[in-house]
């Protein structure tokens, strides 16, 4: 493997550039050194497909051990992508020997600099607790880039294709992970609205929140929370006005919230955690509810239908669905019924205003193809 370094990075590594022969661009990277949040950062950009890997918070001892750190960063990021372990092993094995040289291709340097600019945009995702940044690396590698010929692509998708060719993979997909198929039903008395999703189990509940928002067409403009329930029914059910009430006397074992302010007014009887710190695999399969907008109180019942051991994607997919989601801020189910009544009557005095209002709320009919296009880039 060749790491083509800027002068700043070579100085940090305390290395003189080596003389090396041309290498397969898939195992050749351009690398830059930056200081972000007063911490030393290295950005690696693949010469073949512009796939990007970020290291952050490096110390002097890390630069002395850069070979192992680079290989481990590749492994961590590929594992986070749900790339099959046998494919990762073959790629790492081919890259065991690392040579450091100076940059020499202006076009590749420009692409590396572009990736560094993108890093500043996604800088809020930097994890200060580890030098490895797989979440941030995936986010940058999913960003749409151009090749200068009015053609655009996603580096992560190109990396998948390149790995298939490089490893001569003969399976159906180089991606494989554990996932859950779930039925998510919006709790309404007079309407049937549901979506059936498959979601990787390494996703956090906050990522599940974003998948639900996408699948139902919500606009993510309000707070939300999850309740996860025990498998046994309780002798002391919650009252119907409690957000954890499910009508079947199941006891909630944890409340996952999206805002730290929730800890100041939560129910002491139910443990509370931030939803972006808990993965689905820690509690699922389990009965759960997702509540969105504490004014309109849109409650979604989540039922796991099966656990999949060999899901061949790393993003969610919507298998089926029925019914349109009510507009944001419509006033609950009663307000939704009133909205539909006005929209159906062109002679109603509020029809024109309501039609304009619903457009401003981005209210649309359920379109499974559009939903899946959006889920693909989560």
316, 200 in Cβ contact below 8 A?
yes
Query: For the domain bounded by 178-325+363-375, which CATH number is listed?
Result: 3.10.290.30
pLDDT of residue 147: 78
75, 189 in Cβ contact below 8 A?
no
Residue 99, φ and ψ in degrees, nearest 5: -115, 140
Tokens of 104: 């020499």
Task: Kindly state the DSSP code that residue 83 receives in the 8-state scheme.
Answer: B
Task: For residues 168 and 161, give the distance between their C-alpha atoms in angstroms, rounded to a whole number.
Answer: 10
Per-residue pLDDT of the chain (378 residues; tens, 9 = 90+): 999 999 999 999 999 999 888 779 999 999 999 999 999 999 999 999 999 999 999 999 999 999 999 999 999 999 999 999 999 999 999 888 899 999 988 999 999 999 999 999 998 899 999 999 999 999 999 999 987 777 899 999 999 999 999 999 888 899 999 999 999 999 999 999 999 999 999 999 999 999 999 999 999 999 999 999 988 777 666 666 677 766 677 788 999 999 998 888 867 778 999 999 999 999 999 999 999 999 899 999 999 999 999 999 999 999 999 999 999 998 899 999 999 999 898 889 889 888 888 888 888 899 999 999 999 888
175, 256 in Cβ contact below 8 A?
no
pLDDT of residue 236: 64
DSSP string, 267-304: -TTS-EEEGGG-BGGGT-SS-EEEEE-TTT-EEEEEEE
pLDDT of residue 377: 84
268, 211 in Cβ contact below 8 A?
no
Residue 152 CB-half CA count within 13 A: 4
Task: For residues 316 and 215, give the distance between their C-alpha atoms in angstroms, rounded to a whole number.
Answer: 10
pLDDT of residue 241: 65
114, 43 in Cβ contact below 8 A?
no
Helix or strand or coil: residue 190? coil
Domain ranges of the chain: 2-166, 178-325+363-375
Residue 100, φ and ψ in degrees, nearest 5: -110, 125
Q: Is the pTM of this model over 0.75?
A: yes
Cα distances (angstroms) measured from residue 160 to each of 171, 265, 370:
13, 46, 23
DSSP string, 41-91: EEEEEETTT--EEEEEEE-HHHHHTHHHHHHHHHHHHHHHTTB-HHHHHHH
pLDDT of residue 164: 94
User: Is domain 2-166 annotated with CATH 3.30.420?
Assistant: yes
Cα distances (angstroms) measured from residue 158 to each of 122, 144, 145, 153:
21, 11, 11, 8
């Amino acid at each position: 493997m060749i790491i083509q370094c800027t002068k700043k990075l070579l100085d940090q590594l305390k290395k003189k550039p080596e003389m090396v022969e041309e290498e397969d661009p898939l195992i050749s990277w351009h690398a830059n050194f930056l200081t972000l949040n007063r911490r030393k950062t290295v950005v690696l950009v693949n010469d073949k497909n512009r796939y990007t890997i970020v290291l952050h918070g490096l110390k002097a001892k890390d630069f002395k051990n850069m070979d192992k750190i680079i290989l481990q960063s590749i492994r961590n990021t590929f594992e986070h992508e749900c790339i099959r372990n046998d494919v990762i092993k073959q790629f790492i094995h081919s890259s065991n020997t690392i040579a450091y040289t100076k940059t020499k291709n202006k076009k590749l340097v420009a692409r590396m600099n572009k990736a560094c600019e993108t890093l500043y945009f996604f800088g809020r995702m930097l994890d200060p607790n580890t030098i490895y940044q797989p979440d941030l690396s995936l986010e940058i590698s999913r960003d749409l880039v151009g090749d200068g010929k009015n053609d655009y692509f996603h580096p992560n998708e190109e990396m998948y294709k390149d790995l298939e060719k490089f490893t001569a993979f003969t399976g159906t997909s180089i991606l494989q992970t554990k996932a859950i198929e779930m039925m998510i039903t919006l709790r309404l008395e007079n309407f049937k609205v549901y979506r059936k999703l498959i979601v990787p189990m390494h996703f956090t509940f906050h990522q599940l929140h974003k998948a639900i928002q996408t699948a139902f067409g919500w606009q993510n403009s309000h707070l939300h929370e999850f309740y996860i329930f025990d498998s046994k029914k309780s002798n002391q059910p919650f009252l119907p006005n409690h957000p954890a009430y499910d009508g079947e006397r199941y006891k909630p074992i944890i409340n996952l919230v999206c805002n730290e302010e929730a800890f100041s007014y939560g129910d002491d009887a139910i443990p509370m955690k931030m939803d972006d710190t808990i993965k689905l695999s820690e509690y699922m399969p389990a009965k759960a509810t997702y509540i969105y907008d504490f004014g309109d109180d849109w409650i979604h019942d989540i039922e796991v239908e099966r656990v999949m051991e060999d899901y061949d994607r790393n993003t969610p997919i919507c298998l089926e669905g029925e019914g349109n989601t009510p507009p944001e801020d419509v006033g609950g189910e009663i307000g939704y019924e009133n909205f539909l009544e006005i929209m159906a009557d062109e002679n109603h005095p509020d029809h024109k205003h309501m039609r304009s209002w619903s457009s401003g709320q981005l209210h649309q009919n359920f379109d499974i193809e559009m939903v899946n296009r959006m889920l693909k880039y989560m």
